Structures are given as C-alpha cells and as structure tokens.
Structure 1
C-alpha cells in the first residue's frame, strides 16, 4: 500500500497537498483525523528561548544538587548481615536476658540506643529534616551534605535544666539568652567513623537566615568560633561573640542554624573578626554562608549540623532597648476586608439572624454579645457556673435557629466564645 493510500485509509486525505506526479506530499499541520485544529499545531519546532519562556524548561544539570559533605565508608552488605546475625544469635543464647524480658524487668540503656541511632540513621534523618525546613536551600543554594559528626547543643535554663537543640524544635528567646553548651567528638574521622590520632581543627558558625532586616538574601551572624582544636570549644578563636536570637513580634518563626566545619589545617579567618564595639550592630553581622563556603571550600568541609526554631516572647522588649539599642519592631498583617455581597430580600438556605448580622455594624453586634454576657455575670461571684452536661438539657418550644444559638452558647463554640 502506498503512503498516499495509507493516509487516505486513515482519514487524513483532507490534509494532503501537492501533486501526485511530483511525488511531493505535504501534510497539513492544522488538520488531524479530518478535523481542523485551532491554536498552534503540535510538532512545530520552537526556539530555545520560546521553550524556556512558555514551558519554564529547567536544565537538569544546572539544578542538580551537589553533595559537599564527607562520604561514608560502609562495610559490605554481606559483612553487615553477618554481624547482624551474630548479634541476634548472641542475644537469643542469653537466657538471663530472656528471663528478664518475660518477667518485664529488662531495662534498656537509652543512652546506648541514642548512640546507636546517631551512628546509623540519625544523621540521615537530620538531613531530611533540614531539607524540609529549607536550611540547605537558603544557606548553600543547590548544595547539601549529610552530617557525619553528631553535634550536641544544649541551652541552660532555670533550675539547672538543659534545653536541647534537635531536629528543628522550638526554643524561646528567653531560653536561648545565654551561650549554649556545645560538644562534639573532635577526634572522630567523618569518613570512617573511627577515632584518629593527631590534631584536628574545626569551625562552628551559628547564623539566622531569617533575621536580616535590610537584606532578605543575607543572614545574621550570631556566633563564630574558628580553629577549635580537637573539639575543645573553649580553646577556639572567637571571631564573633554569641548573640541571642531576636525574632520581631508578628513575623512568626525563625531558624537558628549551627554548622560545624572540619578544617584541613589551622586557618587565618581574622577577616571575619567582629570587634567588641560592634557586638550589637546588626549591619556588621551581615553574613552569607554560601559566600563563606565558596571562598574556603578547599580548606574546610561541613561535617555537623543542628538547628531550631524560635519566635517572639516578652523578654525581647528589654533586649531590643538595652542591648541592640533599637525600638522594638512590631509587624502586623493588614487583613483585607471580607467581601460582602449585596443584601438580598430573601436569602435562601441561610440562617436569617447570622445573615442579618453580616450587614450590621460589627461594633453593635459585639456590644450586644458583651451585654448578654455581663447580664449573666454577678459583680462579686462572677459568671454563672457552666452546665455539667450542657447537651443533656432539653430545648423545647423554640425554633431551629434559636436551638442552634443555644447549643453554641452551651458548648462555647462560634462567636460567643470571643466574649
């Protein structure tokens, strides 16, 4: 069968152009299956600029994420399986443990469980949490890393209690007002996970990617300690003293991120040193983790991570006035007025009392609710006690809309709970 007959059989004869004698057959791009198509026909070649503009085409190689952390050397799967089977065999042969387990007297060392978790999947879970909160995106762009060195950070609160930093938990500024207690294993090899001999140097940086007032893409530097020898934080070079978080009122939660870097050797980072007189000057604390890493990526590698969230509390008022010497900023969301359709003469399928309140002055409605509440409140004994079983009392001889209002009053739901 010829190509022309094949097209005629499939109903595409309406799209044929040209002369059979010349053997030139052109398929009309605007006709498919005998139907005329509207708009741009498929298959028409477009330029690269048109595809990028119309389809938002993204080059996969440009947006591919890069792992800038340390790799991890693992034992082969057969060796892991062999070790696991030997451990199970040893546990099953322990008659004393079986006896304690059956008598519900077996005690589990939670510190050992936590240590095992950190050595297996804990740091991978932390990386997923950091991805969820956008930590890597806003600090390193398209790069990320898996923390290989567990970083323990605790804040001292009242009563000699410790508030730990873990997986983006919430810590109030009043709890984070003092310099935290930081510890990590400075003799740990991030690649092999084993102890090594010799001196090793580390850098710890704490920054807030949400706290800069004038530059939305910059960070606020809260803490900078370089050349930490063998994990001894007290012996490191403090380039920027610890500044507590100060999230303004009304902006919601902010992220405080601690990144631990392993240095190849001792480094000269005095260019980032903050003078004592500039401790409370926020513009002097402008920082960019991405620029810092790009400049020193040959000498240091990120190895540890910890972060938490914080939001405003009442202790920040004094902090703004006395430490930062600024007026406390307060942000409020300007809610647009709700859309209100024109009033209808017969609003169908709507409670008439609620419908009428929509078109009344809201101040008058609030006044009526307040008067109704005060009418049932004794000046010395207070409000009437609530019913023990509010829905057990019958409501008879009243219309349905009034029953709904009574039900809301008894249950404390709806608008009545605001007054």
Structure 2
C-alpha cells in the first residue's frame, strides 16, 4: 500500500458529506427543509392575479341550500331516520336515478368545473375565462345493439370506439337555440395554439340535434402514434337568435385538416354578445391500430409517427486492456449497432429451419462441458445461448 507525504496530506481538501441514519449520503436539503413537490409545482405554475384575472362567461351558478346547510341536513336526517336500521342490515335499496338527479341539481356544475380546471380545459380553450356547466350533456358512442361508450369527464375512449357521431342529449325547451362543438386542443400538426374541430352543429332547435345546421361534419379522433392522450371537448352554447355560420362552412366533408383549424377563444370573442357556454363534457383518446387505415384511406395522407430522438450514448476512449468487462461486449460498444443487430439476426436465421420445429432446449444447460482452450468471454456467450439469454433470443 502506498504512502502519502506530510506536505501532500496538509494540502488535501477534505470534504465532509452529511450521512443519513443508515449511512447514505444526503444530496440536497433534508425533507423537512426542502420544498415539497406540491410547493415546486405551485411555484412553476404560478400566475400573477393582477395579470390573469379569471372571468365567468357562463350563466349564473344556481345554488341550492336545501340539503347543503346544517338545517337542511338535519331535516333530511329526521325525515329518513327509519332508513338507518335497513342500512345496518344491508337491506336498504338506494334509488340511483334520484341520487343522480340530486347530484345534477346541486353538485354537478362545481365538480365538472373543478375537473375541467384540473385538465386545463378552460386555460387552453378560453384563456382567462371559465363557466359553470349548467346544462348536463349526455354523450354516448354506440358500440353494438346493447352497448355504448359513454363520455363522462376525462375517461378514455379509443378511436375505434368513436368512428361515428355520438348520440347527444340534454334538457332544453323547444323554442331555444343551441350550438354544439367538438374540438381537440392537443392535435394540431402545425400551429401551436390552434385546434382541430371534429364536429360543429349550429342553430339546434331545443335538443333536436338532427335538425341543427351542420357546419362541420363529424370526424373521428385521430391522435397520432407517440403523442399520448388527447382531449376531445364537447361545448354546448346557448343563444337567443339564429347565428350566421356561413363564413365557417367548407365544401364537402372537409377532410383537409387545414380546413378544420379552429380556435375556441376567437370563435367566442367574435360572438360573445350573442352566445353563452352552458354545457361541457370531454374524454381522452390515444392511438390505436385502426388509425393506420384512417390516415391512409380517409385523410389520404401518410400516417405521422412521433418518436423521441435519444442522444448517442457516451463512450470513453478505448483502452488496450479493459478490466472486469467481457471482451466481446466491450468491443461491441464501439461498433455500428445496426451491423451488430444484423449479425445476431443472421446467426439466429442460420439455426432456424422454415419447415421444421426448432430443436428442444438442453435439459441441463450448465452440465455440458466446454471445448478445451475456450476463452472466458466465449464461455459466457455459450452459456447464455444455452440458457436462452441475451440478444440473439430477442430477434
């Protein structure tokens, strides 16, 4: 063992790292002092209230205190006191339809707004504006005679499940006018702050969508491969007079994506004196195999695929005698990876017969001896091949 002189020892900078209770080195501030993940996210997403003032552009929120205040809850408890013994005996039947109606009347608007805020719906579509969904949208994609894919609040529906236009229903008087829009704020290929409109039906009398004015025909979701989940948002607007949408219409079924470029904020700003957002529902969708045919045959375009470009791996300069590393694996680090993959593929194909079954694996792979003079690195490769390990079995 070497020694160090007194002069060198006196000039060495000794750094003391704090150790945890189990002997691990602590990097950064301890948990009690460092900021939490929630605090860091709040700092990153902070918006100055003086610059980002939220504006309510919807109908006034209807508040019902019949069952939310303390007196209302006490009255409900007294009226339904006889139900407690049934609940304890697991004999109480709950009318789900009545519960749903109470939820729609008292809590749905606030909860849907909170969920939409969480998914960034208002920020990406309306900027600094928001609204409470006062009209409940019931959206269903028909799958078969007995099954439907319902749109709730951010649930996942695959593109193959949303090929045709959904059935949309809501409560409305027959003498009212509405506009329904389905838009995707995540899918535009060329513009950053633009959307693709997938469905636009205007001047709907009451809730009879079939009698509305079709501005854009329905187009199924088409999130490209590698882009993750896209949000598809249904927005229902109410207006007192018939709106003129002739400037928005395109010829034919409008399968050119550039013709479907849309901005919800610009659309609302131009008509904010006449229309009011009243309903909201949305779902998420990601790529599936049915979209390959849709891009090629319906949109008549090459299917876009988004992949992450990994930087090339760093390899230090080669050494004459690498220690504690397999010789062949060390050399493969500095070779063309495509050439290595080609060699492994040819190696496997040389042992594969087109009309015969592969030979059975060895019953005791580690019991077979190696030929005399076999180097250690080659023994490792032979043992991995016998056990079915390594890259040759991945091709």
TM surpasses 0.5: yes
Match of 2:291?
Answer: 316
**CA offset at residue 282 of structure 1?**
2.5
**CA offset at residue 227 of structure 1?**
2.1
Match of 2:156?
Answer: 170
Task: Give the SS at the match of 1:339.
Answer: coil
- CA separation of 1:360 and 1:304: change in aligned 2, threshold 3 A: same
- In the TM superposition, what are the counterparts of 1:256-275 in structure 2 within 5 Å? 256-263=232-239, 265-275=240-250
Q: Between Structure 1 and Structure 2, how many residues are aligned?
A: 344
- Cα distance per residue 1:209-262 (max 9 Å; x no partner): 233333232222211112222222223222222122223333333221111112
Q: Gapped runs of 5+ residues in structure 2? A: 1-45, 368-375
What is the CA–CA distance in structure 1 between the aligned matches of 2:106 and 2:361, rounded to whole Å?
56
- In the TM superposition, what are the counterparts of 1:122-201 in structure 2 within 5 Å? 122-158=108-144, 160-187=146-173, 199-201=175-177
The Cα RMSD (Å) is 4.3
What is the CA–CA distance in structure 2 between the aligned matches of 1:92 and 1:370, rounded to whole Å?
78
Task: Give the SS at the match of 1:92.
Answer: coil
| Contact kept in structure 1, 2:186 and 2:231, CA below 8 Å | yes
What is the CA–CA distance in structure 2 between the aligned matches of 1:248 and 1:115, rounded to whole Å?
38
Task: Give the SS at the match of 2:191.
Answer: coil
| Contact kept in structure 2, 1:254 and 1:309, CA below 8 Å | yes
Task: Give the SS at the match of 2:153.
Answer: coil
What is the CA–CA distance in structure 2 between the aligned matches of 1:62 and 1:148, rounded to whole Å?
28
What is the CA–CA distance in structure 2 between the aligned matches of 1:90 and 1:406, rounded to whole Å?
77
**CA offset at residue 294 of structure 1?**
0.8
Match of 1:6?
Answer: none
Q: Gapped runs of 5+ residues in structure 1? A: 1-56, 188-197, 388-393
Match of 2:63?
Answer: 74
- CA separation of 1:356 and 1:223: change in aligned 2, threshold 3 A: same
Match of 2:76?
Answer: 87
What is the CA–CA distance in structure 2 between the aligned matches of 1:267 and 1:215, rounded to whole Å?
31
Task: Give the SS at the match of 1:179.
Answer: coil
Scaled by the length of structure 2, the TM-score of the pair is: 0.70
Match of 2:220?
Answer: 244
What is the CA–CA distance in structure 2 between the aligned matches of 1:241 and 1:378, rounded to whole Å?
51
What is the CA–CA distance in structure 1 between the aligned matches of 2:253 and 2:67, rounded to whole Å?
57
- CA separation of 1:415 and 1:77: change in aligned 2, threshold 3 A: farther
Larger radius of gyration: 1
- CA separation of 1:231 and 1:181: change in aligned 2, threshold 3 A: same
| Contact kept in structure 1, 2:181 and 2:201, CA below 8 Å | yes
**CA offset at residue 321 of structure 1?**
3.6
What is the CA–CA distance in structure 2 between the aligned matches of 1:317 and 1:373, rounded to whole Å?
30
| Contact kept in structure 1, 2:234 and 2:282, CA below 8 Å | yes
- Cα distance per residue 1:304-353 (max 9 Å; x no partner): 11112223333333333443333333344433212223345677888888
Task: Give the SS at the match of 1:199.
Answer: coil
What is the CA–CA distance in structure 2 between the aligned matches of 1:70 and 1:309, rounded to whole Å?
26
**CA offset at residue 290 of structure 1?**
0.4
What is the CA–CA distance in structure 2 between the aligned matches of 1:257 and 1:78, rounded to whole Å?
31
Task: Give the SS at the match of 1:250.
Answer: coil
- CA separation of 1:144 and 1:337: change in aligned 2, threshold 3 A: same
